[in-house]
Amino acid sequence: MTSDLIRLTATEAVALLKQREVSPFELIDAAAERIAAVEPQVNALPTLCLDRARDHAKRLMAGERREAENERGWLAGLPIAIKDLADVAGVRTTYGSPIFRDHVPTTSHPLVERLERKGGIVIAKSNTPEFGAGGNTFNEVFGRTLNPWNTSLTCGGSTGGGAVALATGEIWLAQGSDHGGSLRGPATLCSVVGIRPSPGRVTRGTSNNLFSPLSVQGPMARNIPDLALALDAMAGPCPLDPLTFDAPATSFSDAVAEPPERLRIAFTANYGGALPVDRETRDICSRAVQGFEEAGYVVEEAFPELGPVDEVFLTLRSQHFVVERELQLRTHREQIKPDIIWNTERGLQQTPGQLAWAERERAALFRRFAAFFQRYDVLVTPGAATPAWDVRLRAREIIDGVKLDNYIAGSALTSAITLTSCPAVSVPCGFDRFGRPVGLQIVATPRGEARALQAAAVFERISGLDRLLPIDPRPGEVPPG
């Protein structure tokens, strides 16, 4: 029975919960058993809160905390994981930092409150790099999280714990965040799905960068219908986030259930050579996109000009770090990892003129993408520049023969989209010759999550790769090169 339950999709599990054919307690127990079996091999969910979860389940079963039962996105008692950057009341929350090693918040993040109001039951905190900074999930508090397709490899970052927990069947849905690709990258490297929503679609609540569109909150799942369900549970206005806005009239779940009659799809493997992307990754993605054509949709090779996106993103990201980390550098510098110190100090050294230049370039990039989406419904790219690499390395150093200047330079495929405020979905599209997952990134116009999800659902039906999950962790070696 436990094995059957962990193999349910989130949508299937919620349907059974609504029909009272399975109880939240049964799902909590199934998840706990699976976590005990696989956690020693992957280290995805270092903090559990099973007693708290069972208390929540008891209240739901008694008819309490069901005020959102008739709203879209009702989760009906589904166990979920929360990234260790978001507070959960009464549960150890470290942000991956030794500064907060023993921190236990008394209140929850507004998004956690929303998810619990929608019937989600928090059973665990998922691992993250320190303060969510980095494309490899490791920190000094909990150590490294390993890729279940090959435990010698990274799962990506920063929502790496959530991606691994989904791929191994420890959980049905996971919450995460995305700045330069922190939902999309791990989804790609672990063969699950994730969405970076438009800024304002999901509350960020407690961020000091409340007026910046760079960092967003969003969901991960094992398939696109589950991802749509999770986004329905998350979306909507929040009085603590000035960028939030109303959820759309049509739910995301309803949107993905109806394939679009027409789609004009633009595809680029590397923006005409502007970004370094592994050759085999380019080939796999190029072949995968042909599935859209076979389904009757128009696919053309086209892309908007990126301009100096690396420098623009790094400049604006560094300013973001100043807002979040400047005060901690003054008081706890010795406990903060070098990448964060470098990024913050770079921001402190920037001139007003450099920030003004970056803002002008971001505005120009946005206008180019807006014009591009007058012709195309979605833009498709590889979801990551390379498959997963050695988990002992903090970041990739060389991609397609290009030496990278810093730890975030390898994420340009995703960070470029961050600058545009466009939503983007990551969906699996295959495996390289070493069995490492490869994925697509499907981008739509701002606030066009439904269109991106629809396109991803079309592709998922063609590929069937979601049916490979969940998997048992697999040991392996680091591929050469």
337 is catalytic: no
Task: Classify residue 131 by its DSSP letter.
Answer: G
Task: Please give the structure tokens belonging to residue 295.
Answer: 């389904």
Cβ atoms 428, 463 nearer than 8 A: yes
The residues pairing with 443 across neighbouring beta strands, listed in sequence order, are: 379, 424
C-alpha distance from residue 370 to each of 146, 256, 340, 366 (Å): 38, 23, 33, 6
C-alpha distance from residue 411 to each of 81, 214, 356 (Å): 25, 14, 23
83 is catalytic: yes
Buried-state track 277-299, b at ≥16 Cβ within 10 A, e below 16: bbebbbebbeebbebbeeeebeb
Residue indicated by tokens 């128009």: 298
Chain centre to alpha carbon of residue 226: 14
Candidates 126, 182, 421, 426; catalytic one: 182
CA angle, 238 then 243 then 246, to 5°: 55
Candidates 97, 108, 126, 158; catalytic one: 158
Q: How far apart are CA 153 and CA 77, in angstroms?
A: 33
Candidates 83, 118, 125, 337; catalytic one: 83
Phi/psi at 11 (5° precision)? -65, -45
Phi/psi at 363 (5° precision)? -60, -40
CA angle, 33 then 38 then 40, to 5°: 115
Residue indicated by tokens 């995305």: 178
Enumerate the active-site residues.
83, 158, 182
